Chain A
Amino acid sequence: MDPMAAIRETFFVECEEQLGELERGLVALENGTAEADTINAVFRAVHSIKGGGGIFALEDLVRFAHVFETSLDGLRSGTIEVDSAATAIMLRAADVLADLVRAARDGSGHDHGRVASASAELAALTGAATAQAPAPVDDLDDIVFERVQLDTTPTPAPATPAPLPEARRTWVIRFTPRAEMYAHANEPGLILRELARLGTIDVRLDADALPALDALDPEGAYFSWTIHIETECDRAQIRQAFEWVEDHCALDIDEATDPSAPPATDTDEGLRALLARISQEAAEAPAAAPPAGAPIPAPPALPSASASPVAVTDKRAEQATTIRVDLQRIDRLANLVGELVINEAMLTQHLTAAGLARAAGLANTMESLSQLTREIQHSVMAIRAQPVRSVFQRMPRLVREVAAMTGKTVRLICEGEETEIDKTVIERLSDPLTHMIRNAIDHGLETAQTRIEHGKPAEGTVRLSAIHRSGKIVIEVSDDGAGLDRARIRAKAVEKGLIAADAPLTDDETDNLIFMPGFSTAATLSDISGRGVGLDVVKQSIHSLGGRISIASQPGRGSTFTLSLPLTLAVLDGMVVSVAGHVLVVPLGPIVETLRPAPGQTHRLGAQSRVMALRGGYIPIVDTGVLLGFRGQDETPEQVVALLVEGENGDRIILEVDELQGQRQIVIKSLEANYGAVDGISAATVMGDGRVALIVDVDALIAASRAEIPAAGRSPTPRHEPETLLTR
């Protein structure tokens, strides 16, 4: 990758971190939980974004960051008081800054009005603090952008910006360094070299002030130089060569009264040769060998042999607690570990087949091998894991926006931000969480007025939490609002034809109706939680991550959305089944229950279709073997096992398989990457005996069955019935 593009990428990654830091700091200031360094950290965050933005000439971003930084500086120095009004303005400014960063990253436009009003707010804040401070607009003039000159004339522009190319003039420079100049590590030789770049120079050393050796202070300054320079440059350009030492030397620059006057004649040969070398080097390569400058009483530089390199290495190792790794490398590692797991299983199987599984020594070795393999697998998964903080930290802003739009006062409490989950899962969590939080504020929380009437605090609370629970991550979004209006949900579901008017539903089942496609409780769809999509979309995206979502509600007390997600997408919990001699894996997620149909429980419906009577409803039956083309219509065996599965959209069918082989964790192998896409199959895995097992795509099977079987009842089915063999 082009190095600048790589730096740019780093910049935007870093911006996101700094924005997170900024928001955390401002929220801490608002809550009064700030620590001593919080204001500095907040200031640095904005300062860094400004600095990086400068590299890439992101002018709007730099301009706004500068205004912001000025206000934060006021906050830091105490001229602006840290009160709720100030932090509110800062938080809004942080949001605008985030928008500008993203606009710059994506090359998209941004809301100029919002930027202007946030700038004005900040300027007012700064202005109020320092009444006579210059108008903020003046501040902006301080920023200097280096622009690339675009030459529009047909002829090339002159290489040097000299106003009059012909006007070569001779200047006389008298340069007398003081001791401080050496103490600041500036060397006259290098300054002379810099001068030599500007033109032809002639240098005379005046060493008259040099005392006898016994009186010499090794760090003193005793030399001065007289330099004749013939150049096209003007005084300011010459002065530039001395800009770092101006305060630490006596410097006179005059135009030579007699340009034709011969340069100093008493320069000795050695110095002349030296200067020739300096000029030559300056012309050739600025970083060539040292010009072995004039006798400079440089401060003694002691060799640092005293320092112990070993101890230092240790210290630095402690510093490096994190490293950045390309995600592709980790994915490759994860893949290799997947292969290792499969190989280990194959090895075990071969040993068993050869009757060696119990052979002395081998059993123990295999045991520790499989333990090691599992540990490696977990460690690799842990590398991909990231704290959910990165998603959670976007939510306070969302809550502020939605609260402002609905006119409600809302407090967001985040818990378990350190909980780790696979990076891919995290990336796809943002939208569902956004939707649920909007929903909680818009539909869940009551207005302040209503809350007070019901004896609740005027401020509503939304709680967002993450926790690990038995190999899954559970995320909850809860509010202390009014809870779901079950009567209305039921009426709506009946009206939409989603359930029968007399369907017996528990409270839980009623609540979960809101996830059904086409369901929307709000009479008028507000643009806040609505945005044209319902909670069924949220459910779908959670399902596609192999997760589940449910809602629990208590009237008057609030509702809780519960998401349960797998820790990783690379490994799948699956049910291994056999169908017509083939081994298949059905993901455990969509399986509602497995059962063995009783005689008389299945009914024919027309020539080819069959349904199963299940708790007062009828569910279409699909012979997996037939659907996948393993066998013909009439070859379904007598004894089958039925899997009741539910698709992402809530449709349920029965998948018939010949046998259950058990539940297993399997490593997912892409079929598209290794073979090609197959209808009804989502991926594959390799079993312990080396056979490839296909992983069925339940949703595709449901869709395929729809094409053949007319839709039957799809009422939500209560669980815990006697014929259940296994429930999740």
Chain B
Amino acid sequence: MTTKTILTVDDSRTMRDMLRISLEHAGFVVLQAEDGVHGLEVLAGAVPDVVITDINMPRMDGFGFIEAMRRDQAHRSTPILVLTTESDTDKKARARQAGATGWIVKPFDPVKLVHAVRRVSA
């Protein structure tokens, strides 16, 4: 079985650490970006198997990032999971409209996170 690579896009260092540690512990290779613009830069040179992104970020938010990914031939079929809070039904809908594959409700624990990733990666 080949190792899966996950790209996480989040401006909060706490969240990035949480994502990286949880995912690496589960055996994934983790790439990280700090906002949408940075995320697209990373995608220009990498082909992650799953992308996890936050919504609220400086420079380019999660919606813009997802839309840009879906326009890109190289990444349009990559599963994208959005980090969201339960109360944000509106955000979920917007994220889905932008092209998100699924979502992870915050606050999450490593088990929930890894399960969500496995739900979209073969």
Contacts and interface: CB of A to CB of B under 8 A. Distances in A.
Interface in A292-314: 293, 298-304, 306-309, 311-313
A146 B107 contact: yes
Interface in A245-295: 247, 286-291, 293
B36 interface: no
B42 A316 contact: yes
B31 to A, nearest CB: 10
Contacts of B58: 37, 40-41, 44
A7 B107 CA distance: 14
A226 interface: no
Nearest to B79: A185
Contacts of B109: 146
Contacts of B101: 184-186, 244
Contacts of B12: 14, 48, 51-52
B50 to A, nearest CB: 9
Contacts, number: 142
Interface in B40-97: 41-42, 44-47, 56-58, 70, 73-80, 85-87, 96
Contact of B100 (A6, A41, A57, A184): A184
Contact of A287 (B21, B102, B118): B118
Given A41-B58, A185-B78, A312-B42, A51 B118 contact: no
B87 A302 contact: no
A416 interface: no
A129 B122 CA distance: 48
A193 to B, nearest CB: 8
B14 A55 contact: yes
B116 to A, nearest CB: 9
Contact of B102 (A244, A308, A311): A244
Contact of B86 (A6, A47, A144): A144
B11 A48 contact: yes
A142 interface: yes
A55 B76 CA distance: 31
A722 interface: no
Nearest to B12: A48
A309 B31 CA distance: 14
A493 to B, nearest CB: 53
Nearest to B87: A142
A130 B78 CA distance: 40
A7 B78 contact: no
Given A52-B12, A301-B74, 17 more contacts: A44-B58, A47-B56, A48-B11, A48-B14, A55-B15, A143-B86, A184-B96, A185-B120, A190-B120, A243-B102, A244-B103, A291-B122, A303-B74, A304-B47, A304-B74, A306-B74, A311-B44
- Shortest 7 CB-CB distances between A and B: which pairs? A312-B45, A142-B87, A54-B107, A290-B122, A244-B102, A304-B74, A11-B14
Interface of A: 3, 6-7, 10-11, 13-14, 37, 40-41, 43-44, 47-48, 51-52, 54-55, 57, 142-146, 182-187, 189-190, 194, 243-244, 247, 286-291, 293, 298-304, 306-309, 311-313, 315-316, 319
Interface of B: 1, 4, 11-15, 17-18, 21, 25-27, 34, 38, 41-42, 44-47, 56-58, 70, 73-80, 85-87, 96, 99-103, 105-107, 109, 114-115, 118-122
14 contacts: A7-B21, A10-B14, A14-B13, A44-B11, A44-B57, A51-B106, A142-B86, A183-B76, A184-B100, A291-B122, A304-B47, A306-B74, A311-B44, A316-B41
